[in-house]
Chain A
Amino acid sequence: MAKLIEIRDLSKVYERGRQKVEVLHHIDVDVDEGDFLALMGPSGSGKTTLLNLIGGLDAPSGGSIAVGGQRIDQLGSAALAKWRAAKVGFVFQFYNLMPMLSAQRNVELPLLLTKLSGAERKKRAAIALQLVGLADRASHKPTELSGGQQQRVSIARAIVSDPALLVCDEPTGDLDRQSAEDVLGLLRALNRDHGKTIVMVTHDPKAAEYANHTLHLDKGSLVEQLAA
């Protein structure tokens, strides 16, 4: 299977005042197209940093990251923003929906960056909401939805522009068990039925069971790789 993500000798150093903190040390990881990878590790192990680098939200201090053959570590800020809009969907722990917009409008947000007409944007947002089982909640504001429903809206927002890669940062961290299973089931369906490549950070071993592979990080280094 072709590789979607190729990470070589990746390191990340943060500077906090005069102090330099090396968060990631010379990481090498490959992720195949259509894979579902879980990143686990204790707090401060560097898993969210690695996820941010894969998603093009941060720039590495050393090494390289190629996604779909494109070296994203070499892109400037504006080009990286365009790349994210076209290639990556993001799911956050706290959903991060716009509270003043309806579910429909929230899902439409990434499509505002395309040349699609208003009607087409609306149609695609409706399809995405249908896919996550919330077609009947399109006009609801986030505060009118449960946590699980909000996370499903956020997944609809992540997939509406049909990106190849989904990066999820603790997507079930704020949910009860039942809602978490619903969301994880949805992610697995997106992976299996729609071929989305998913990289997910989680603390929860049960959540990691939904992934095909799990990578463990500790103190910024890869410690083991397990097949699900």
Chain B
Amino acid sequence: MKYLHLVWASLFRRKTRTVLTLVSIIAAFLLFGLLDTVRTSFAQAGQSANGASRLQTGSKLSFIQTLPQSLQAQIARVDGVKMVTFANWFGGAYQDPHNQVFSFAVAPNYLDAYPEIEVSAAARKAFADTRSGALVGERLAQKYGWKVGDRVPLQSQIFPDRSGSKNWQFDIVGVLHSTDKKAGGFFDQMFLLNWKYFDDTTPYNQGSVGWYVTRLADANQADRVAKAIDALSANSDHETRTQTEQAATASWMKQLADIGLIVGSIMGAVFFTLLLLSGNTMMQAVRERTSEIAVLKTIGFSSRSVLLMVLAESVLLLVLGGVAGLALATLIIPVISAGSGGMLNLPSVGAGSWLLGLLLMAAIGVAVGALPAWNAMRLNIVDALAGR
């Protein structure tokens, strides 16, 4: 600790260069904080107590393949199944194709599978009684200023009606609230429509189902029940894959994009660039101080002390920038979440991300400081003082 002022002074010997390097490090760790939060958010999707007691059954081939509706009764008879419901992806957009809405055509008992979604009894009755009725998430309603009684148009990106038009009209009959904070961002964005209305209106569905959702009597029986459900369609033209909600969400997202790989690749490129940049800064900084390091060794600083001081300097540089970057990410993430109107429900930078970030700072600091520290340690005093 008594060398700290010396390390600090050495670090800021060239203020402009150090500040510019710090800005690069801050930017890199800000990006790390944001992207790691996105990765964590995707990894946590479907992870909830209620999610653990639900299974999703979809086509084994692809999530865009449908399944026969007749499977519902067979799944319901599997031992360990409490109830089964189903849904289809509707793919609606509001006013502009860019305004995608998480819209699903759902079975009448769909909400029974999701006790964490609150909806009034009156709204549920109205939904059941109104053919073109829709239940909308609270944030979605807020976003577009919808209220119960409004008639709203949605344009399906996939399904036309019998006249060939993809413009559908829905009557909002109730608003959904989520009691699960973690999954709330998604549920509060949902738009549910009656599957019967959807199935009768589009010629493209004809009684097929996108996926089944099964509630289990005992979450510990998930593996056995999943296998039993998949056995129902074995060797048929509609083989299924049944997974826990978490696994299904992860699998679904992986079919869209491997977020972990994308985030890892971006961060790998960013940190590699950072390694070169801060490594160059440290090399220059130590090279400029050759005679000063020689003086330190002359007055009795050991080669080991010099090595550790240069390493401490590079680690300090990384930690200063890295902590500032992660702190900035911590401050920015709630702003991004709020600004997205609930579309993005990013968790804050967690202890895991901080720990990983601190390890990265230390590792990069040691890596970039290693060569200049080694050179400083091996510096020959006489040659350095003579300017050789």
- A: residues with CB less than 8 A from B are 48, 52, 55, 57-58, 77-78, 81-82, 84-86, 90, 92, 96, 98-101, 105, 109-110, 112-113, 118, 157
Contact = CB atoms under 8 A, between A and B. Distances in A.
A81 B292 contact: no
16 contacts: A48-B386, A52-B382, A58-B382, A77-B303, A81-B303, A86-B300, A96-B291, A96-B294, A96-B385, A98-B292, A98-B295, A99-B13, A99-B292, A100-B10, A105-B5, A157-B299
A84 B303 CA distance: 13
Interface residues of chain B: helix, strand, loop or mixed (majority): helix
B13 A81 contact: no
A96 B300 contact: no
A84 B301 CA distance: 9
A109 B299 contact: yes
A81 B12 contact: no
Nearest to A84: B300
Nearest to A78: B302
Contacts of A92: 295, 385
Contacts of A100: 9-10, 12-13
B2 interface: yes
Contacts of A81: 297, 300-303
B202 to A, nearest CB: 74
Interface in B346-370: none
Contacts, number: 66
Contacts of B299: 84-85, 90, 109-110, 113, 157
B298 A84 contact: yes
Nearest to A111: B2
Given A100-B9, A112-B6, A82 B300 contact: yes
B3 interface: yes
* Interface core residue of B13, B296, B299, B301 (most chain A CB under 10 Å): B299
A105 B6 CA distance: 9
A13 to B, nearest CB: 14
Given A78-B304, A81-B301, A96-B385, 13 more contacts: A52-B382, A55-B298, A57-B382, A78-B302, A84-B298, A85-B300, A90-B295, A92-B385, A98-B9, A98-B292, A105-B5, A113-B299, A113-B301
B382 A90 contact: no
B2, B291, B294, B300, most chain A CB atoms within 10 A: B300
A77 B298 CA distance: 11
A90 B298 contact: yes
B381 interface: yes
A99 B386 CA distance: 19
A86 B299 CA distance: 9
Contact of A78 (B291, B298, B303, B385): B303
A92 B382 CA distance: 12
**Closest 5 pairs between A and B when the two form their complex, measured CB to CB:** A85-B300, A100-B9, A96-B295, A81-B302, A84-B300
Contacts of B300: 81-82, 84-86, 110, 113
Contacts of B292: 96, 98-99
Contacts of B385: 57, 92, 96
Contacts of B386: 48
Contacts of A48: 386
A58 B386 CA distance: 13
Contacts of B5: 101, 105
B300 to A, nearest CB: 2
A228 to B, nearest CB: 28
Nearest to B381: A57
Contact of B298 (A57, A98, A101, A105): A57
Contacts of A90: 295, 298-299
B386 to A, nearest CB: 8
Interface in B159-212: none
Nearest to B11: A100
A29 B304 CA distance: 33
Interface centre among A52, A58, A109, A112 (most CB of B within 10 A): A112
Nearest to A105: B5
Nearest to A110: B299
A145 B301 CA distance: 26
A82 B304 CA distance: 12
A148 to B, nearest CB: 19
A101 B291 contact: no
A105 B304 CA distance: 22
B5 to A, nearest CB: 7
Contacts of B3: 112
Contacts of A57: 298, 381-382, 385
B9 A101 contact: yes
A183 to B, nearest CB: 18
Nearest to A83: B300
